[in-house]
Homo-oligomer: A and B are copies of this chain.
Amino acid sequence: MAEPEALIYIESDSKLGLQAQIRQKLVESIHLGIFKPGMRLPSSRKLSEQLGVARNTVVIACQQLVAEGLLTSRARSGLYVARRLAAPAYSPHAPGERGSITGPWQQWLKSRANPDIARIAPADARDYPFCFLDGQFDTSLFPVAEWREAGRYALGSGDIGVWSAATGGLDDPMLIEELRTKILPRRGINARAEEILITVGAQQSLYLLAELLVDASVSVAMEEPGYPEMRHLVQRRGAPIVHQPIDGDGMLVDGALDDSRIVYVTPSHQAATGVTMSLERRRALLEKAAQRDMLIVEDDFDCESNYKGYPHPALRGMDRENRVIYVSCLSKVLAPGLSLGFMVAAPELIAEARKLRRLLAGQPPRNNQRAMAHFIRLGHYDALTASLHRTFGQRWDALRQALNFYLPPWVALAPSQGGTVLWVQGSDDLDVARLVDEAARRGVLVEPVDHFYALSRRPLNCFRMGVSGIPAHRIREGVARLAAVVREFTAGATEHLDHCVGRRLLRRDLQVTIPGAVMRTQRVYGEPVEILLHADGSMTGRAGFAGEDRDYGRWWLDGDRYVRQWQRWSYAEPASYAVVLDGDRIKFYLESGFIEDTLAFEAAVIH
Which residues from chain A sit less than 8 Å from chain B, CB to CB?
Answer: 1, 4-9, 11, 13, 28-29, 32-34, 36, 50, 93, 95-96, 98-102, 104-105, 108-113, 115, 117-118, 120-121, 123, 126, 135-137, 139, 142, 144, 147-148, 151-152, 155, 157, 160-161, 163-169, 180-182, 185-188, 190-192, 195, 199-201, 203-204, 207, 211-215, 217-218, 229, 232-233, 237, 283, 293, 295, 310-313, 317-323, 334, 336-341, 346-349, 352, 355-356, 358-368, 377, 379, 382
Contacts and interface: CB of A to CB of B under 8 A. Distances in A.
A213 B337 contact: no
A549 B207 CA distance: 55
A167 B136 CA distance: 10
B283 A13 contact: yes
A113 to B, nearest CB: 4
Nearest to A378: B1
Given A105-B346, A105-B348, A365-B365, 5 more contacts: A1-B377, A101-B321, A101-B323, A104-B348, A148-B155
Given A110-B214, A118-B358, A186-B5, A165 B137 contact: yes
Nearest to A353: B113
Given A320-B93, A321-B98, A359 B33 contact: no
11 contacts: A7-B317, A32-B180, A95-B192, A109-B352, A110-B212, A110-B213, A111-B211, A113-B356, A142-B160, A201-B362, A233-B360
A359 B212 CA distance: 16
B113 A164 contact: no
Contact of A361 (B111, B137, B361): B361
A336 B165 CA distance: 6
A237 B340 CA distance: 28
A216 B338 CA distance: 36
B337 A363 contact: no
Contacts of A167: 336
A166 B204 contact: no
A171 to B, nearest CB: 12
Contact of A155 (B151, B237, B336, B347): B151
B229 A109 contact: no
Interface centre among A113, A195, A212, A320 (most CB of B within 10 A): A113
Contacts of A32: 180-181, 190-192
B322 A101 contact: yes
Nearest to A157: B144
A4 B361 CA distance: 35
A358 B233 CA distance: 12
A334 B160 CA distance: 11
A376 to B, nearest CB: 9
A391 to B, nearest CB: 16
A215 B363 contact: no
Contact of A295 (B108, B339, B365): B108
Nearest to A323: B101
Given A362-B201, A382-B1, A213 B108 contact: yes
Contacts of A352: 105, 109, 112-113
A588 B102 CA distance: 62
Nearest to A168: B120
Contacts of A318: 11
A346 B103 CA distance: 13
A105 to B, nearest CB: 4
B155 A139 contact: no
Given A200-B362, A201-B362, A346-B100, A95 B283 contact: no
A101 B166 contact: no
B152 A118 contact: no
Contacts of A100: 321-322, 346
A192 B367 CA distance: 29
B204 A337 contact: no
B99 A321 contact: yes
A76 to B, nearest CB: 26
A602 to B, nearest CB: 37
Nearest to A32: B190
A307 to B, nearest CB: 17
A233 B359 CA distance: 8
Contacts of A105: 346, 348-349, 352
Contacts of A135: 166
Contacts of A338: 164, 365-367
A141 to B, nearest CB: 9
A337 B382 contact: no
A154 to B, nearest CB: 8
A36 B182 CA distance: 11
B215 A118 contact: no
A429 to B, nearest CB: 33
A365 B382 contact: no
A213 B109 contact: yes
Given A215-B110, A322-B100, A7 B185 contact: yes
